[in-house]
Amino acid sequence: MTTDTIDIAPKLRGRPREFDMDAALDEALRVFSERGYYAASISELTEAMGLTAGSVYKAFGDKRGVFLAAFDRYRHVRQHMLDDCIAAAPNGYEKLRALMTFFAGSSWGDIGRRGCLAVGSATELALFDDDVAKRIGVAFDFDERRILDLIRLGQEDGSIPKHVDAESTACAILSFTKGMRVVGKTGRTQEHMFAASEAAMKLLN
Amino acid sequence: MTTDTIDIAPKLRGRPREFDMDAALDEALRVFSERGYYAASISELTEAMGLTAGSVYKAFGDKRGVFLAAFDRYRHVRQHMLDDCIAAAPNGYEKLRALMTFFAGSSWGDIGRRGCLAVGSATELALFDDDVAKRIGVAFDFDERRILDLIRLGQEDGSIPKHVDAESTACAILSFTKGMRVVGKTGRTQEHMFAASEAAMKLLN
DNA sequence: TTGATTTGGAAACGATCATTTCCTAAAAGA
DNA sequence: TCTTTTAGGAAATGATCGTTTCCAAATCAA
């Protein structure tokens, strides 16, 4: 994956970093997604990232630092992917269909089994790690806000009825999308999940 | 919690077990729910269960054995709680409202933060532990089947329109309920989650 | 060049993990 | 009563964990 995070080299002193940060984080977030936080050992992470433990600790401080960086990278990449999916749709209603289809498309087969890093860390870490909890909270609030804005957009462009309660429906759709990522862990079929997301469009009637 | 699992004492030889199995498992499933599988250490489990490591290994074989027993216990208890919630409702539609309200009621405040053991183990263990994956699959299939049956019941008793596609709607509601448990990890309010579950009732229109 | 600074990387560190061992206690079968 | 069987429990075990240390390599400032 070659999505840019921050590519401006600020002319730092000392020996320059040899590895590609985004590529390393892409491998790290894959390991964290598959294994979860605790089951992902430093050995497995360093091997996947193509680095030694020393380099990892120099760059990220500790294991938690690797996770937080990988989490931010994950959010960044997924948001851009979702943005691209939504952009083409002509109105609020169709943008929300694209959004739900996007999540349905990530909730079947091998990609579905790999799971969502945000959902995984929410269940595994949110209760005892306040920093992670805050990040999850921000991420979910952002997702919910985007859904809310799309509902209101649809109500303005006439594709969604005015009587739809935007706030509660946004929370329902947020829950539905995160839930698909959970159900997708059990290996559903593409048809199964797409049909579910199509059924969920009724929330906007 | 004093829900019976199997209370028939089959007159076993040897020294009889001194601890209460269901009470011990209730503590174990609480620890697993809060911490997750890997972060829950044997020390923390034994302390919560009021046992020594020796007794635990005698009774369950290994840590995974404790988890599987706790998981089955969790499913057993939760299913009975849900059954009670649904029983009073007069028709399919209202039973499904009771079902969604039940999950909404488990998705806010401290109980919401504690999370769902099935959702947690699905995200943490399903990919690499085939036994757990099978258990999650069976559990989710059971949940989905129950929702499906309630939709069909509603269509027979006239409380749900015939044009509702039962299969895809069942998967959508399943995803929605599991998703509420994920969103509930971030500490939502009671009103927030109840409003979302009420909005989700539109899936049955 | 020289010194300061940062990275790369192998090896070693203490801590904690799940698990086993070994012994005693308590019950049933003979 | 005596053997067998199972549970309770403290202590020890080996493995693995995250992390640190130490040194060579590479860059910039002077």
Q: What is the pLDDT of residues A64-77, one digit of tens each?
A: 999 999 999 999 99
H or E element: which one contains B140? helix B130-157
Kindly determine whether the C-beta of residue A10 is less than 7 Å away from any atom of nucleic acid strand D: no
A197 within 8 A of A100, measured Cβ to Cβ: yes
| Summary mean pLDDT of chain A | 94
pLDDT value at position B14? 85
Task: Report pLDDT for B1.
Answer: 47
Express each pLDDT in B88-135 by its tens digit: 999 999 999 999 999 999 999 999 999 999 999 999 999 999 999 999
Give the pLDDT confidence score for residue A12 in this predicted structure. Answer: 73
Instruction: Inform me whether the pLDDT recorded for B6 exceeds 50.
Output: no
The model's confidence at residue B11, banded by pLDDT at 50, 70 and 90, is low
Per-residue pLDDT reduced to its tens digit, B140-185:
999 999 999 999 999 999 999 999 999 999 999 999 999 999 999 9
Strand C contacts in B 23-52 (CB under 7 A): 38, 40-43
Q: What is the pLDDT of residue B12?
A: 76
Residue A88 three-state SS? coil
CA of B59 to C1' of D12 (A): 21
Average pLDDT over residues A106-116: 97
Across the interface, whether the CB atoms of A114 and B120 are under 8 A apart is answered: no
Nucleotides of D under 7 A from a protein CB: 4-12, 16-22, 25-29
Q: Is B126 helix (H, G, I), strand (E, B) or coil?
A: coil
Tell me the chain B residues in contact with residue A165 when contact means C-beta distances shorter than 8 Å. Answer: 195, 199
pLDDT score, position B5: 43
Contact B159, A138 (CB under 8 A): no
* Section A13-25 average pLDDT: 91
CA B39/CA A23 separation, integer angstroms: 28
Looking at residues A191-197, what average pLDDT do you find?
A: 98
Average pLDDT over residues B33-51: 97
Q: How many CB atoms lie within 10 A of CB A174?
A: 24
Share of chain B above pLDDT 90, in %: 93
B133, B180, B182 ranked by CB distance to A119: nearest:
B182
| Structure confidence at residue B13 (pLDDT) | 85
Alpha helices in chain A (DSSP H): 21-35, 42-49, 53-60, 63-87, 92-105, 109-114, 117-125, 130-157, 166-183, 190-200
Give me the torsion for CA of A95, A98, A99, A105, rounded to 10°. 180
| Global pTM value | 0.94
Q: How confident is the model at residue A3 (pLDDT cuts 50, 70, 90)?
A: very low
Domains of chain A plus CATH, in order, are 1-70 (1.10.10.60), 88-205 (1.10.357.10)
pLDDT category, A15, cuts 50, 70, 90?
confident
B62 Cβ contacts chain C strand, under 7 Å: yes
Distances (CA, A) of B44 to A79, A170, B184: 38, 39, 25
**Model confidence at B4: pLDDT above 50:** no
